[in-house]
Amino acid sequence: MNKSELNRIFESFSDYNILIIGDVMVDAYAWGKVDRISPEAPVPIFSCSSRENRLGGAANVALNIKSLGANPILCSVIGDDDRGKDFIKLLSEIQQDQSGIVTCSNRRTTVKTRFISNNQHVIRIDEEDTHELADETEISFIKHVVNLMDNQDIHAIVFEDYDKGLITRELIETVTDKAKQMNIPILVDPKKRHYSDYKNVTLFKPNFKEFVEGSNLTLEKGDIDGLFRAAKQFQREMGVDKLMITLSELGVFISNETAFEHIPAVVRKIADVSGAGDTVISVATLCLTAGMNSADIAAISNLAGGIVCEIPVVVPIDKEQLLAESLKLYAEA
């Protein structure tokens, strides 16, 4: 891929509307320091100096999609609570459309609070409900998503599954069937509960642990040939066009069933892996929508995941930095 092609593809991102369906949350941060042990118990005392709220989960995918220049349409359910109001405020601050957000009185808004001292996580506290949506809420939400698909020009759909209960088998089947009828590509960032329900999708992106556990495999991460054999079987059984598996320090693997590519990781100083998966699926979505081949999708997504890992908080990818590093990568190829 030459410089002009890469620039054209990155410019084309602004033409796309991406429907994101998934669990959203508030990523809360408490910044401070630990310099002594409590006299009450053998635990560290965290002296908090500041706090911050950020968009998390599927909302971080929306933030990445927006940062790359495309238009995210975020669909999820939040609680009718103070944290839900915090979440809506965060959406308003980035001028994100809220038409896909449904409020539910019998669920809590998910919050993950990270306590950070000297750029290191000390502890994380999760506040959440993980049971699946009540029947009436599920039915209402599915109708809401279908209505958006009927009334918006959608170029790709992302299922961002954090296993918090929003995504159900009925939701997956309804949206997938309708998307196939409308010729809309579907990309999935899965979790274990509904791992086997994502049939006939365009791109399926587990990490290595999720793939091995979800497929009941005994496989070493560095066994790329063995991974390809397992990938081919999985794709045949599930009807998956492209299987992209993130391998952390070993990079990214992608298979289209007949061939595979293994893209090694770029050596970086890793500060925080939180949110890297969100970035990878976001970049992969836009690259696929723009018509890139499997190898290029994996290579650029791999770069993006590494970039955000250098920062000690969850942040969206910087489009200009990603383009600059992508241009450098292809110039060296």
Known catalytic residues are 278
**Between helices 276-289 and 58-67, what is the axis angle to 10°?**
50
**Between helices 294-308 and 319-332, what is the axis angle to 10°?**
130
Could you tell me which residues are beta bridge partners of residue 255?
243, 260
What is the rounded CA–CA span in Å between residue 196 and residue 246? 18
3-state helix, strand, coil in the chain (%, to 5): 40, 25, 30
DSSP tag of 316: P
Long-range contacts of 126-133 (CB under 8 A, 24+ apart): 127/83, 128/25, 128/164, 129/79, 129/164, 129/165, 130/163, 130/164, 130/165, 131/165, 132/165, 132/168, 133/77, 133/104, 133/107, 133/165, 133/166, 133/168
From first CA to last CA, the distance across the chain in angstroms is 9
Quick check: helix, strand or coil at residue 140?
Answer: helix
Q: DSSP labels for 212-253? A: HHHTT----TT-HHHHHHHHHHHHHHHT-SEEEEE-GGG-EE
Q: DSSP labels for 253-284? A: EEE-SS-EEEEPPPP---S--TTHHHHHHHHH
Could you tell me which residues are beta bridge partners of residue 120?
117
**Helix or strand (DSSP H, E) at 310:** none
What is the rounded CA–CA span in Å between residue 295 and residue 323? 16
